Amino acid sequence: MALDFMVIFEDNNLIALLEGLWVTVSMTFMALILSAVLGLIIGLGRMSKQKWISVLCSWYLAWFRGTPLLVQLMILYYGLAIGMQVDLSASVAGVLGLGMYSAAYVSEIVRGAIQSIDKGQMEAGRSLGMSHGKTMLKVILPQAVRRMLPPLCNEFIALTKNSSLLSVITVSELMRAGNLIVSNNFRYFEIYIGIAVLYFLVNYSISVIIGRLERKLSVEGARA
């Protein structure tokens, strides 16, 4: 059977793929916000002088980095409903699953960036009368953010690609939309190439945006 990429534009296939792409982007964006907030909390928690907080955050990190995302999604969507009668929608389970999984990796990025800042910065802030929290917020984190951006870009791109696993829990994202199209016309190569191009465009856009933000922060940092 000869290749025919025009099949992407037939029978509303492109519309279905774009609708799936919108679901992918919107859910990934919500998961990204969740992972950033959780990652910051866990990263700071790992450095806490309160041992129970540090241990709790370490266990979170160990669990989510040590188990596959697919298994975590299955537990959230199917396991909770059957075992504990907690019936989450596929979208909620998907955002929670992606966000909590990614937060484990974001937390290490946050912790590494903060610890890379010279300890004298904290001492200088404290000597000026600022509290530990205020010094962290006003002095340490602004410097750490610039160092976080490159690894965060990689993590957010990985998060976008990991969203393809949401098709397993019936989320109508890009991959599931493509699978439904393929089940009707059996044009595997053409449809999956189309899906790959859409993922590429999204991830390339993320790279460009983060790159520009990184350059902007570098210029501002140099001026400061």
Give how far the C-alpha of residue 100 lies from the chain's centroid of Cα atoms, to the nearest Å. Answer: 9
Rounded to a whole number, what is the distance in angstroms from the first to the last CA of the chain? 62
Number of domains in the chain: 1
pLDDT digits (tens, 9 = 90+) for 35-84: 999 999 999 999 888 999 999 999 999 999 999 999 999 999 999 999 88
Among candidate residues 197, 128, 203, the one with its CA nearest the CA of residue 163: 203
The token duo for 17 is 């793929």
For residue 120, the enclosing domain spans: 5-223
Q: What is the distance between the alpha carbons of residues 122 and 131, in angstroms, rounded to a whole number?
A: 10
* Cα–Cα dist 172/179, whole Å: 10
Q: Look over the chain and give the mean of its residue pLDDT values, rounded to a whole number.
A: 89
Does the pTM of the predicted model rise above 0.95?
A: no
The domain that holds 191 is classified in CATH as 1.10.3720.10
Span 178-224, pLDDT tens digits: 999 999 888 899 999 999 999 999 999 989 988 888 788 776 655 55
d(CA 38, CA 97): 12
Q: Say how far apart CA 164 and CA 88 lie, in whole Å.
A: 19
Per-residue pLDDT at 202: 93
